[in-house]
Chains A and B, each alone.
Chain A
Amino acid sequence: MKLMAIDSSGLTASVAILEDNKMVADYSVNYKKTHSQTLVPMLDEITKMTETDLKTIDAIAISKGPGSFTGLRIGSSTAKGLGLALNIPIVEVATTDALAYNLYGTERIVCPIMDARREQVYTGLYEFVKCGQSLEMNTLLESVAIGVEDIMNQINELGKPVVFLGDAVSVYKDKLEELVKVDYILAPAHMSHQRAASVAAIGARKLANGQSIPASEHVPEYLRLSQAERERNEAMNGK
């Protein structure tokens, strides 16, 4: 089974190719260029470098969100185009799930936080539990857009050691210090950003479980309405 994976939900553009248990390629770039300029050239590069015949790819795994709206759309439209052109399905993986999976092995609660602006973060809560000879990732809180203080309260209530990762860690460093009452650590640079390799690893398991969809049906999961819709709803509710 061969998967091509894409994550462009944040500042990092990341692509990977996973063949069974082998991560054939794993390529991330966090540079000032836009995902539109980097993503397909990166796919081209790993494909050439690994002499991958695109016809042998079984599915595209995509980091479906939450994240930057534009970033998600570049990734999703690319994945959809690949799915259409290669006639293969898409496997959707929540961005926060994939981020948490970067920290496979930790005994701490894993809390990815991505900056969602307006004093909110895209986040979730996860833990790894032993299951035979491997670990299962349990979801304690599914992907959500909530206030920084809100998620910190939930963490304090759990009362267990935590590890934070994601681009909002640097944004809310002081807030964490102020609000988090449990023992916490911050993930190091090589684990803290979105990695398509993690998307691929989760995606492979979902694909094996039959959790794929036709490429035409995939849409990003923004977790938020557009500003215009929000304001319209508010206006209508206010009346």
Chain B
Amino acid sequence: MSDVLILAIESSCDETAAAVVKNGREVLSNVISSQIDLHTLYGGVVPEIASRKHTEQINQVIEEALKEANVTLNDITAIAVTYGPGLVGALLVGVSAAKAISFARKIPLVGVHHIEGHISANFIENKELEPPFVCLVVSGGHSHLVKVMDYGKYEILGRTRDDAAGEAFDKVARAIGLGYPGGPKIDRVSKEGNPDAIKFPRAKVEGSVYDFSFSGLKSAVLNYLNSCEMKGETIVQADVAASFQKAVVDVLVEHSMQAVSEAGMKKFAIAGGVASNSALRAALSKACEENGIEFFHPSPILCTDNAAMIGCAGYYEYLAGNISNYDLNAVPALKLGER
């Protein structure tokens, strides 16, 4: 069989990204144009600004990805594009550009689910990894515990009932004066703090063992900050950060290990922006080792939003014959496993 080259495009949030991926798992290029500096001014991603920036950057990013991979559109087998979930205005830029290129060059189009992309990031650096396995997807917009039964076949075991894990990091970071983006900043500051200094709650969701809830934890942190202020006590930023982080990590690890064990699986992976959190990685790595589970994780560049992961997921969708039509639309609340 000849090589399958996927040109992948991702614009679901605040990174404009394009990549060329060969045979699903070999990344020939992975170009990411981040808008983070723009959004930092506003303390979070502003959808309209993100959409405008995507429109400005989209061609340069795609051209750069082709050039870096040393290929032209003539070499491309299929175009994969994220069509949800995400910010609708942002998604539409990538989807529209992808459809136009697909139409103009008669290259098959494959719509890809953003979370499926994150999960697939694990295939890129772990050539031996094959489904089935359990994957924890944690990012600024998502917190999912997913059973990956086969390529493109998923069962969602648990999800967040309120804030995504990354969202909680952002909100707490803002409250303790660290600013945006919260994840990396809390991770860094926590290294100087005592994770057992403050007892924050580990929330359980009644009736669904694998679901998450982080808004209660966030409120607990805010209440703690308020009460310190009232009592005139000094707030030790690093201790608050470390204790909050530990509370998040504990819940993620506990749910994950329970899910892997009950699913009777021996493989576990993490994905998404929060998967680069060093405390989470360390804790999961330790827990997996103790339970005799093989632990997989992408390197930080593939945890953040990128198009290489979309190319990988798109490759398996392409092989499965899931070709999209020119009326492919952005679906901001797209569910995993739905097309």
Contacts and interface: CB of A to CB of B under 8 A. Distances in A.
Contact of A85 (B42, B46, B51, B104): B104
A16 to B, nearest CB: 16
B52 A81 contact: no
Contacts of A102: none
B100 A36 contact: no
Contact of B329 (A34, A76, A81, A82): A34
Contacts of A73: 51-52, 55, 89, 92-93, 96
Secondary structure at the B interface, as helix, strand, loop or mixed, is helix
Contacts of A76: 55
Given A70-B89, A219-B56, A40 B42 contact: no
Contact of B63 (A36, A38, A54, A216): A216
A222 B52 contact: yes
Residue among A43, A84, A232 with the most chain B CB within 10 A?
A84
Nearest to B105: A85
B97 A232 contact: no
B92 A74 contact: yes
Contacts of A222: 52
Contact of B101 (A41, A69, A85): A85
B270 to A, nearest CB: 32
B81 to A, nearest CB: 10
A78 B99 contact: yes
A219 B16 CA distance: 15
A40 B104 CA distance: 10
Interface residues of A, number: 35
A11 interface: no
A234 B133 CA distance: 51
Contacts of B51: 69-70, 73
Nearest to B49: A226
A216 B52 contact: no
Contact of A77 (B48, B49, B100, B103): B100
Interface in B16-69: 41-42, 46, 48-49, 51-52, 54-56, 58-60, 62-63
A82 B104 contact: yes
A119 interface: no
B6 interface: no
A44 B93 contact: no
A227 B42 CA distance: 11
23 contacts: A36-B96, A36-B327, A38-B327, A39-B96, A40-B327, A43-B103, A73-B51, A77-B95, A77-B97, A78-B97, A78-B100, A80-B58, A81-B59, A81-B97, A81-B101, A82-B101, A82-B103, A83-B59, A84-B101, A85-B101, A219-B55, A226-B49, A229-B46
